[in-house]
Chain A
Amino acid sequence: MSLIKDRNRREKIIKTLLLVPTIGIGLLVIVIAASLYLRSEQILSLYPLTDLLFSSNWRPLAGEFGFLPFIMGTIWVTCLSMLISIPISILTAIYLSEYAHQRIRKSIQPFVDLLAGIPSVVFGLFAVLLIVPLIRDYLGPFFGAATSGFSILAGGLILSIMIFPILISISFEVLQMVPTETREAALALGATRWEAIKHVVLRMAYPGLIAAIVLGFSRAFGETMAVLMVVGNVPIIPQSLFDPGYPIPALIANNYGEMMSIPVYDSALMFAALLLLFVVVFFVVISKVMLLRFRRGRA
């Protein structure tokens, strides 16, 4: 009797113990958002929100804080990097999961993992030494654009390289979770391998792949150092891939040093951080909605 009681009590304690950190993590997002909001209140009280979001004049010393160039810079670089990395990563994951021989899979995977472990600043140096000259001397002239190489394109390219490992390994895991029997059933019905992948495996893996893409997006939004080193950091709204841009994380990292010397600058940077948080939350919510729709559509 007491043994069972003891068991139940322990079970309860463990449940609580597991609950506490879970709630803590959830709260963390709220705490971060709230503290950023409190610190950016000053600039929000001085300028109307529409001015901050839709003006493109950025001259803090003159009291002009227009965040539009930074918002656009963030969106350009992130979307470009996802456009490049999503197809490549998913095709790679499909090959590794569905076609590749065990030996090939085993020898490629360490490289993918290694790519994930390289520090951001190393990617940045690689981009400065290789990607920037490549764009300036070859890609730019090929498309008839005069460019210094420090551009949205350089930022997007290096960012996509940094997202590859996370996208490939998660997509691979997701594809592996599709039961072998479903593939065999499709093949038994006379489908080719590709037909089985297209109609069975990908359909079942779809929600997981979306989750992988969202994780990739979230990382891409916040990535700072490598992008900052090659994106040009000019506060203008980019008109083409060969124009320089200025994403929000770079703004915060570059101007951390002016926080103390220019009035309301610290508040402006906190607002920038809050904006970034909102953009990420926005994308996560959109993807959740897409997932829900997909599930409902199938049901």
Chain B
Amino acid sequence: MKSKFVYVNLVTVIFILTILFAGCVNSNEPASAGGTSKIYVSGAFALYPLMIEWSEQYKILHPEIGFEISAGGAGKGMTDALSGMVDLGMVSREIYPEEEAKGAVYVAVAKDAVVGTMNANNPYLSEIQEKGLTADTLKGIYIDQTITNWDQLAGSSNGDPINSYTRSDACGAAAMWAKFFGFNQEDLHGIGVYADPGLAEAVKSDTFGIGYNNINYAYDAGTGEPIEGLAIIPLDLNGNGEIDPEEDFYSTRAEIMAAIGDGRYPSPPARELNLVTRGDFKGPTRDFVLWILGDGQNYVEATGYVSLSEDRIQSQIDKMN
């Protein structure tokens, strides 16, 4: 009886040690490889709402498939996919050659854009909305730090500072926003705020703040207008110092969607959203991605994204075969 007690203890200790050291072993296989049908997804905030919609629709057709989806920025999606922690990484920027060299395989599944944002109660809002900001001006704010004052934009003389905000986490939105004026995320000057909703919140609560968001976090999904407290900064694309009628498409989400679709809103900051895996799309994950490129496309516009052209979709399907 008593020696049995000792054995039970011994077994417990061995069990605990096994657990402790199991953590040290680098498990490189995606969790679904073991025959369970759960698909793990992580990454870009930009793609997160659409991925939720897709997974719910897919579960209706295939109740045996489970999903675990988390948002954490494009960089996290890429790192998780390459290290085998997830089956699919959501990446809202282009894939770097270094990442392809490490085995990143990807397909584009939809399009959206990053837009500049400012506080809706900013006293210079109407001037900014009339004139817009050029890529050069944004570079002056975010890179060179030569434009630090709203007076420089609105021609006033009140001395109100521009408080620039940027994302702290590695993400597609920052990468595309910086690329719009020719730089990288690490070059952007400004207070670093974590996550898409965090950045929107920061600009919303700072009258003189300026930031940027994925459109699905800048516009209200219900009303289709910019979320309360936030205004969208129009881009002066031809650089003539004012927002012409053909540059004016920011008042509702539907309008800017149309502008992204026909290319009036430039890319960057518009961009394709990618799904990444390591090596090859396999098993249930492959079926799911093929469904996304097929029937799944029906949910893209309804969820607030821009569909890829049919040619582009076909080329992505070819890429998988």
Binding site for B on A (CB under 8 A): 10, 13-14, 17, 20-21, 24, 28, 31, 58-61, 128, 132-133, 136, 146, 148-150, 228-229, 232-234, 244, 246, 250, 253-263
B110 interface hit (Cβ, 8 Å) = no
Nearest CB on A from B11, distance (A): 11
Nearest CB on A from B53, distance (A): 24
B30 interface hit (Cβ, 8 Å) = no
Interchain CB contact under 8 A, A59 and B201: no
B56 interface hit (Cβ, 8 Å) = no
B132 interface hit (Cβ, 8 Å) = no
B20 interface hit (Cβ, 8 Å) = yes
Interchain CB contact under 8 A, B16 and A21: yes
A257, B186: Cα distance in complex, Å:
13
A262, B13: Cα distance in complex, Å:
42
CB-CB under 8 A from B186, the residues of chain A are: 58-61
Known: A61-B186, A254-B168, A257-B76. A13 touches B6 (CB 8 A): yes
Interchain CB contact under 8 A, A257 and B201: no
Closest to B6 in A: A13
B310 interface hit (Cβ, 8 Å) = no
B17 interface hit (Cβ, 8 Å) = yes
Contact of B191 among A58, A244, A262 (CB under 8 A): A244
Contact of A150 among B20, B104, B191 (CB under 8 A): B191
Binds A, one of B95-103, B217-225, B253-261, B264-272: B95-103
Interchain CB contact under 8 A, B193 and A150: yes
Nearest CB on A from B165, distance (A): 8
Nearest CB on A from B31, distance (A): 19
Contact of B192 among A58, A234, A256 (CB under 8 A): A234
A254, B16: Cα distance in complex, Å:
32
B206 interface hit (Cβ, 8 Å) = yes
Q: A59-B187, A257-B169 are in contact. List 11 more A-B contacts (CB 8 A).
A: A24-B17, A28-B20, A61-B186, A150-B191, A150-B193, A232-B192, A250-B168, A255-B169, A255-B170, A257-B78, A260-B104
A20, B252: Cα distance in complex, Å:
65
Q: What's the A-B contact tally at a CB cutoff of 8 Å?
A: 106
Interchain CB contact under 8 A, B163 and A261: no
Contact string against A for B residues 1-39, beta-carbon threshold 8 Å, 1 for contact and 0 otherwise: 011001001100100110010001000000000000000
Interchain CB contact under 8 A, B201 and A128: yes
Nearest CB on B from A113, distance (A): 27
Interchain CB contact under 8 A, A17 and B9: yes
Contact string against A for B residues 203-214, beta-carbon threshold 8 Å, 1 for contact and 0 otherwise: 001100100000
CB-CB under 8 A from A229, the residues of chain B are: 193-194, 198
B234 interface hit (Cβ, 8 Å) = no
Interchain CB contact under 8 A, B98 and A256: no
Contact of B169 among A133, A146, A254 (CB under 8 A): A254
Interchain CB contact under 8 A, B6 and A257: no
Interchain CB contact under 8 A, A233 and B76: no
CB-CB under 8 A from A228, the residues of chain B are: 168, 194
Closest to A258 in B: B170
Interchain CB contact under 8 A, B163 and A148: yes
CB-CB under 8 A from B209, the residues of chain A are: 148
Contact of B206 among A20, A148, A255 (CB under 8 A): A148
Please provide the chain B residues from 64 to 106 with a CB less than 8 Å away from any CB of chain A in the complex. 72-79, 82-83, 96, 98-99, 102, 104
